[in-house]
Amino acid sequence: MPSIIRFDQVSVIAHEKTILSDISFTLFSGEKAVLCGKSGSGKSSVLRTLLGLHAVTSGTVYFQEVPLTPASVQTIRSCTAYIGQEPVLGAENVRDALLLPFQFKAHREHQPTQQQLIDVLQRLQLPAGILKQDSSRISGGEKQRIALARGLLLGKKLYLLDEVTSALDADSKQAVFDVFSDPDLTVLSVAHDPEWLERCAIIFELEAGRLTQVKRHDNP
């Protein structure tokens, strides 16, 4: 089976500081993994490196067995949804934020319908009325779910989640868990939340930019 993500002895040095050091791991389609470790251990950097936001000093990052290069980075980005702690909506109101990626050439042909917008919001426990709301009045937890909704609308299969459940209440958290119970979706996340850790089959432990331990449990 071909891998979705493969890091092969990847090191990242930026501004004379080692951010990642000799990281190797593989993630297959449908797997749910979490990176954990102290702050500054390089968890978020793993996600950012995969997206081409950090220059790789040595080693190779593979996405679907294709090495990350300037030519392939656009493909990786268009297949991946990255959701940070405080996602940027990038538009005046929620509807425009959800439709934002469909302005770009890559997605212009796939405009979602009103019903699709409402359905995806509902899946994430967000009311349809939120569509008209001004972006400045949206809370952190809502932003995360809107960003997630945007990924789902784009039909993305790989989700890079950085502390996504931290700002969510129990119901919304459950909604997010339900979304990712889909075996088609692959998840590489950064989290501290024990509930989230429990649901991830693979736990990567990082310390000072090194991968120190890989734990797998069979029934997430």
Would you tell me which residues interact with another protein (CB under 8 A)? 51-53, 55, 70, 73-74, 77-78, 80-82, 84, 87-88, 90, 100-101, 103-107, 150, 154
Cα atoms in the Cβ-side hemisphere of radius 13 Å centred on 42: 25
Amino acid at 39: S
Smallest gap, in angstroms, from Cβ of residue 79 to another protein? 9
Smallest gap, in angstroms, from Cβ of residue 29 to another protein? 20
What would you measure as the largest C-alpha separation in the chain, in angstroms? 50
Beta bridge partners of 7: 25, 61
Nearer to another protein, 96 or 205 (CB): 96
Distance CA 114, CA 182 (A): 23
38-53 residues labelled b (16+ CB within 10 A) or e (exposed)? eeebbbbbbbbbbbbe
Distance CA 210, CA 141 (A): 30
Write out the two tokens for 50.
């995969």
Distance CA 52, CA 69 (A): 8
Smallest gap, in angstroms, from Cβ of residue 44 to another protein? 12
Smallest gap, in angstroms, from Cβ of residue 214 to another protein? 27
Nearer to another protein, 83 or 121 (CB): 83
Nearer to another protein, 107 or 210 (CB): 107
Spatial neighbors of 71 by CB under 8 A, at least 6 apart, are none
Q: Number of H helices and number of E strands within the chain?
A: 7, 10
Nearer to another protein, 52 or 112 (CB): 52
Nearer to another protein, 105 or 132 (CB): 105
Smallest gap, in angstroms, from Cβ of residue 162 to another protein? 12
With vertex at residue 200, the alpha carbon angle to CA 20 and CA 21, rounded to the nearest 5 degrees, is 10
Smallest gap, in angstroms, from Cβ of residue 104 to another protein? 5
Nearer to another protein, 32 or 156 (CB): 156
